[in-house]
Amino acid sequence: MKNILAKAQKYFTNSELDFEQRMLNLISSTSALALHTDLKEVLNFTKEKDIPYTKIYEVILQNYLFAGFPAGIEGMICLYEVFPNEEKPKFENPYKNYDKTLADGEALCQKVYGKNFGKLIEHFEKLCPELAEWMIFEGYGKTLSRKGLTVIERELCAVSTLAVLSWKRQLISHLKGARNVGATEVQIKETILQTSVFLPKEIIENYLKLILG
């Protein structure tokens, strides 16, 4: 069986989604699936291709929101093994200015969800007030508003992770979110197609239908 990197390379020549974004997507999905041997191979490949370390760091870090804290921890262990001497992005404590972090999170969440933002918050407050607060502060404020990646890069990586983990409801939200923040339909489609590395054809076909929904 071919390894993940070998399977993925068939997509690298398609110019509809640039090489750097494809690599970030691949890191995101491989890390989420806990394929650590493959992840380290992919990371070594990105090292050869001079993909910015900060972008790789941010992709793995944000994955804890979508794939859980263990994915973030184990992903960072793999990253450190491949890049032991790289300087980490400057840590800025989001709790020092809680109100600003919350405001940044609300602004970004509004951008991602567009006209559905109000319904989203209302739904979460009924469902679980803690998650309503944490989604804005922890998710969109503390994590997704960080420097290092564009919002489009972050959304496409989120799509990659949610697709391979089969979180359909959240995938639908971030497919729409990617479009809302400026990703093209072609970029989103190519992001889904690249997850063919991990997923069977019938699932990919179902996901592609969601883009048109």
Over residues 131-157, mean pLDDT: 97
User: Chain-wide mean pLDDT for the chain?
Assistant: 95
Helix, strand or coil, per DSSP, at residue 165: coil
Mean pLDDT of 107-115: 97
Instruction: Determine the average pLDDT of the residues in 38-54.
Output: 97
Q: Which backbone phi and psi does 141 adopt, to 5 degrees?
A: -85, -65
58's tokens: 């941010």
Quick check: 1 pLDDT over 50? no
* CA-to-CA separations, 176 to 63, 78, 116, 155, in angstroms, rounded: 19, 31, 10, 10
Percentage of residues in the chain with pLDDT exceeding 90? 87
Residue 91 binned pLDDT confidence (cut-offs 50, 70, 90): confident
Asked if residue 86 has pLDDT above 80, the reply is yes
pLDDT at residue number 213: 66
What's the confidence (pLDDT) of residue 14? 72
pLDDT of residue 179 exceeding 60, the answer is: yes
Residue range 13-32: mean pLDDT, rounded? 92
